[in-house]
Structure 1
């Protein structure tokens, strides 16, 4: 039958392609994990500023420019390949973040050579506070799985129509779960409660807004991948347990 993008697609339940090798899934998973790690390494530690007309300088975490791309790719993975494969990508990303945190801790803790003067800069960039690392990993895991679950269920409810409702609706839920876990776990008791609440809702609104702006890109990527795979996958009979990596 024809998919919503007009291409000839074979509509299948996710269970019908369980364990099957799909042409571009590995590349999509690699892109997902790469963006996740780089946005946490390069973006999380820097506070940038933008000059807003009528407001002045407005500080923001630089990671917000790229971290939401992980949710866009999470949407793409679920829409094209189904919940189970998106869930596997979340678990791979979870493991990669744990290893990154461990590697950062070990490398920073190693005694520097007497001739090397970069230890202070290295600690500033990679010496993350364990509480923030834990909060980030927990929030990512829960938020991404919530995002994928909502999108997969909405795809069945809407019979594959109105992709924009699924990408935005799932992000509203996923980013909400992410923000409600991360900011209290990371900063409650460290920052004033009012500041935690302000930053939580500000960052949440920015992330959801970023997803809305990227909706045309999501449509293009989803359409391209579905056309190449020749499939339109629905999670009619999927086991939605988060504690599995089975595809």
Structure 2
């Protein structure tokens, strides 16, 4: 390990200010909200050889970036600080859902032609909202937990194994929970298409993580050098509801 880094082990560390932590949190929340607003409900497809169409959720192109940021947070700052960011993102999702419900429910001004389109884009049912929140909560905490544990097991070596390994678990949970819970039994979502979307989401998200591994290395190494810290969660309380002084 770089001699300029402080290896922090244990359940919590003394409070300190980090230069980049708040910016990373803001990026995480922004990508999370935009992915849910813009891409979560739209199925798209690619044409495979032989003319077969393979369906996938459009949000998959950008949502995995939030998992990469989650990996960076846990790797550099530790599980406890990543947990704080996950809860911040969850609170933002709750507010987004509430705001969308209020705005869509307000009666439109007479003659305004956009109400139907507004309801179609932003008027998600509470079933979809609940599915999104549940999948995010379970997937992100699983991702952070697996990465933190693997970091201790590997002694901080082979970063790629834990970024990809944690993504397989976290993104798998996210995909398996969200799409069936949100769309199973609805018109336009036959079971075979739903299964295609779940599998393609899982595969594409994990592939994104693997492809962006070099970028993850660069960002992690930069942050560790600039922040001067490298947290190992050897005695951390991994409960999602735990508390840390860090």
TM-score using structure 2 length: 0.92
Q: How does 1:6-17 map to 2 (within 5 A)?
A: 8-13=4-9, 15=11, 17=13
> What is the aligned-residue RMSD (CA, Å)?
1.8
Give the corresponding residue for 2:26: 30
Q: How does 1:54-203 map to 2 (within 5 A)?
A: 54-55=50-51, 58-190=54-186, 191-203=189-201
CA contact (8 A) 1:142 1:178 kept: yes
- Structure 2 regions of 5+ residues with no counterpart? none
**Whole-angstrom distance in 2 between the partners of 1:110 and 1:40:** 22
Instruction: Give the CA deviation at 1:8.
Output: 2.6
Give the corresponding residue for 1:220: 218
Instruction: Give the CA deviation at 1:51.
Output: 4.8
Q: Residues 101-130 of structure 1: CA distance to partner in whole angstroms, max 9, x if unpaired?
A: 010011001000013211111112111121
Aligned-partner SS, 1:60: strand
Q: Report the count of equivalent residues.
A: 243
Structure 1 residues 46, 182: closer, same or farther in 2, change over 3 A? closer
Q: Which stretch shows the higher mean deviation, 179-188 or 222-231?
A: 179-188
**Whole-angstrom distance in 2 between the partners of 1:198 and 1:49:** 10
CA contact (8 A) 1:91 1:245 kept: no
Q: Which stretch shows the higher mean deviation, 95-104 or 9-18?
A: 9-18
**Whole-angstrom distance in 2 between the partners of 1:91 and 1:65:** 23
Q: Residues 151-202 of structure 1: CA distance to partner in whole angstroms, max 9, x if unpaired?
A: 0000000000000001000001101111221122112333444433332112
- Structure 1 regions of 5+ residues with no counterpart? none
TM-score using structure 1 length: 0.91
Aligned-partner SS, 1:17: coil
CA contact (8 A) 2:74 2:147 kept: yes
**Whole-angstrom distance in 2 between the partners of 1:187 and 1:242:** 27
**Whole-angstrom distance in 1 between the partners of 2:81 and 2:111:** 48
